[in-house]
């Protein structure tokens, strides 16, 4: 293949800092990328035609190795913390130069022009440069795909350079390890080196949009899934891993707008992406039929193993990692909405898996409570979900996506509160965890009960219920919900030992209050007033 027109003059090469004289593969089709991956011995097909690869040493993101360049743009605006780590601009220039030299030394590189944001007013043009063809397939699957007409005049707003084979030198390059992900807002570039985990590209752009959209365009960016009903009513689902976000948003009676990253404007909700990046562990057609059926030709499956002597994936295997993944275009989902833009949300669901067993199956939140819970981002990890966890562990992740939130969480919460107020949105806290006692004593709330709760909220029936006030958290709990036994709606009723329930309730409230100390500065009075009263 010849060097594409946009590179043939050499101007674009020089602008990127490349002096490559060999082969640049530009905008290859998925079939071509799959063929090239297999011919280079970097992957194999499974029995359904999906490409299966290993991402190498890293099978997940490395948050401690992600940095934002500190400069006159970011210094006063970024909420610097353990996730938003500073790196001096001189190290960005040093690593950029080294990476360009590395790419220039390669006989082949793969380039793809892509788009983030389905809303025409907020499109971000991205040029992705990869060392491997399968990484370029990921970019094809996850980002929006420009039309041939758009490609004719395509000008990148941002660049991603991803080279798993390039390693930093911690002694000279200003980073603690040989792998890194660096975002420069001044130079509009993301550098990813030393790791083949493709999710670093996706989350790098999410971090960028989480800064640009709220800061510069008054658009609320959200780590959530969304769907829309036949009448145009949009539902938003926030939730950390294990809370049921993907399962509950995948409703055959509603169109899927997107499963992970969205923006909320003054008139619509829109998907940032053109695809999905789903977990595969314990995947089955019965539990997740849409994801299971999306693993076909064109999909990219990462870090799985096969049943011995076959090309059939063993989805239960954790031999390589529990974080097995598949990426595929959004149109692989049968009920996906394209273009993935819909109207204003009518209902918001905060999903939590409460292992203490004290939160109700559903509660209606005030605006202040919604903002407080949004900043808190609570769930619990239980044994079996993460290596080393034997007892339930409370987990808080600001805005349900702390590693990707560059601004103070209160910024996003205040925007959320404003939209809730303006659009009269109903906000629900839904516990998909335990009742009748905590993990090991009580029972997991049945999925069909949770589905009934979601249906009642979406239909408006839950708004017409009578409510009672939960102590300490002051949530409003419905006394009746169609399809759910009324005796479990108030969690205290399900506990044999009422005193033990009260003790656990106070303990969880204290955890919320202690977690929130980090965010109290910068949060308004309405948010602070919504804290549990211990």
* Core vs surface per residue 34-49: b (16+ CB within 10 A) or e: bebbbeeebbeebebe
The C-alpha atoms of residue 401 and residue 409 are separated, in whole angstroms, by 10
Percent of the chain past pLDDT 70, that is, above it, reads 94
Reduced 3-state DSSP string for 335-387? CECCCCEECCEEEEEEEECCCCCCCCCEEECCHHHHHHHHHHCEEEECCCCCC
Rounded CA separation 236/62 (Å): 28
Q: What average pLDDT does this structure show over 47-74?
A: 97
DSSP 278-302: EE-TT--TTT-HHHHHH-STT-EEE
Q: What is the pLDDT of residue 7?
A: 54
Q: Which of 176-180, 288-292, 418-422 has the lowest mean pLDDT?
A: 288-292
The model's pLDDT over 309-360, given as tens digits with 9 standing for 90+, comes to 999 999 999 999 999 999 999 999 999 999 999 999 999 999 999 999 999 9
The closest alpha carbon to 245, from 269, 270, 226, belongs to 226
- Per residue, the 3-state secondary structure of 100-139, as one string, reads HHHHHHCCEEEEEEEEECCCHHHCEEEEEEECCHHHHHHH
For 467-505, write each residue's pLDDT tens digit. 999 999 999 999 999 999 999 999 999 999 999 999 999
Contacts of residue 39, defined as CB under 8 A and 6 or more positions apart, other chains included, come to: none
Which residues have CB under 8 Å from 328's CB, separation 6+? 141, 275, 276, 278, 294, 295, 296, 298, 299, 300
* C-alpha–C-alpha distance, residues 80 and 85, integer Å: 6
Q: Where are the domains of the chain?
A: 5-29+61-218, 225-259+344-528
Q: Which of 462, 430, 432 is nearest to 446 (CA)?
A: 432
Catalytic residues: 61, 203, 223, 241, 245-246, 260, 325
How many C-beta atoms lie closer than 10 Å to residue 452's C-beta?
A: 18
Say what the pLDDT of residue 23 is: 80
What residue has token string 């989902």? 333
Q: Which helix (H) or strand (E) holds 514?
A: helix 498-520
Q: Are strands 225-228 and 220-223 parallel, antiparallel or unpaired?
A: unpaired
The whole-number average pLDDT for the span 414-429 is 97
- Measured in degrees and rounded to the nearest 5, phi and psi for residue 196 equal -95, 0
The CATH classification number of 5-29+61-218 equals 3.40.449.10
Chain position carrying tokens 């819909």: 342
Residue 51 pLDDT more than 90?
A: yes
Strands 467-469 and 476-478, by their bridges, are antiparallel
C-alpha distances (whole Å) from 12 to each of 7, 17, 20, 100, 334 are: 5, 9, 11, 13, 39
What pLDDT sits at residue 180?
98
Is residue 469 within 8 A of residue 475, CB to CB? The reply is yes
CB count within 10 Å of CB 73 equals 15
Name the residue among 247, 228, 222, 206 with its Cα closest to residue 336.
Answer: 228
CA 432 to chain centre: 19
Q: In which residue are the tokens 């674009």 written?
A: 12
pLDDT digits (tens, 9 = 90+) for 247-266: 899 888 999 999 999 999 99
CATH number belonging to the domain at 225-259+344-528, selected among 3.40.47.10, 3.40.50.2300, 3.90.228.20, 3.30.2320.80: 3.90.228.20
């Amino acid at each position: 293949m010849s060097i594409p027109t946009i590179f043939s003059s050499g101007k674009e090469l020089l602008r990127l800092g490349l002096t490559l004289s060999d082969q640049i593969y530009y905008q290859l089709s998925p079939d071509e990328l799959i063929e090239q991956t297999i011919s280079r011995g970097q992957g194999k097909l499974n029995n359904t035609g999906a490409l299966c690869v290993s991402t190498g040493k890293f099978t997940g993101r490395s948050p401690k190795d992600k940095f934002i360049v500190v400069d006159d743009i970011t210094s006063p605006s970024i909420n610097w913390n353990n996730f938003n780590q500073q790196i001096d601009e001189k190290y960005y220039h040093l690593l950029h130069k080294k990476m360009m030299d590395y790419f220039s030394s390669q006989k082949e590189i793969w380039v793809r022009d892509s788009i983030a944001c389905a809303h025409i007013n907020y499109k971000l043009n991205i040029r992705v440069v990869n060392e491997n063809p399968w990484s370029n397939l990921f970019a094809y699957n996850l980002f929006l795909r420009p039309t041939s007409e758009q490609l004719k005049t395509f000008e990148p707003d941002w660049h991603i350079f991803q080279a798993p084979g390039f390693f930093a030198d911690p002694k000279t390059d200003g980073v603690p390890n040989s792998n890194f992900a660096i975002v420069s807002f001044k130079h509009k570039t993301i550098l990813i080196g030393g790791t083949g985990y493709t999710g670093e590209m996706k989350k790098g752009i999410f971090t960028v949009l989480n800064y640009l959209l709220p800061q510069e365009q008054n658009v609320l960016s959200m780590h959530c899934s969304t769907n829309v009903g036949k009448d145009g009513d949009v539902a938003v689902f926030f939730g950390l891993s294990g809370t049921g976000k993907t399962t509950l948003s995948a409703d055959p009676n509603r169109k899927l707008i997107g499963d992970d990253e969205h923006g909320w404007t003054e008139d619509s909700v829109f998907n940032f992406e053109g695809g999905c990046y789903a977990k595969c562990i314990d995947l089955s057609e019965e539990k997740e039929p849409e994801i299971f059926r999306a693993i076909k030709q064109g999909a990219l499956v990462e870090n799985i193993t096969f049943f011995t002597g076959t090309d059939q994936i063993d989805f239960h295997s954790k031999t390589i990692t529990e974080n097995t993944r598949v990426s595929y275009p959004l149109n692989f989902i049968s009920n996906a909405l394209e273009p993935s833009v819909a109207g204003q949300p009518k209902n918001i669901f905060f999903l939590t898996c409460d292992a203490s067993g004290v939160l109700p199956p559903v509660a209606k939140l005030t605006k202040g409570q919604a903002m407080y819970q949004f900043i808190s981002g609570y769930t619990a990890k239980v044994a079996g979900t993460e290596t080393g966890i034997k007892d339930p562990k409370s987990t808080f992740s600001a805005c349900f996506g702390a590693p990707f939130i560059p601004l103070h969480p209160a910024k996003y919460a205040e925007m959320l509160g404003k939209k809730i107020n303006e659009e009269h949105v109903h906000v629900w806290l839904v516990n998909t965890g335990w009742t009748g006692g905590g993990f090991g004593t009580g029972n997991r709330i049945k999925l069909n009960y949770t589905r009934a709760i979601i249906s009642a909220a979406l239909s408006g029936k839950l708004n017409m219920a009578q409510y009672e006030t939960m102590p300490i958290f002051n949530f409003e709990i419905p006394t009746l919900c169609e399809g759910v036994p009324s005796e479990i709606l108030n969690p205290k009723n399900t506990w044999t030992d009422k005193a033990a329930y009260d003790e656990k309730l106070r303990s969880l409230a204290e955890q919320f209050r202690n977690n929130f100390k980090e965010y109290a500065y910068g949060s308004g009075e309405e948010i602070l007033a919504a804290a549990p009263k211990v």
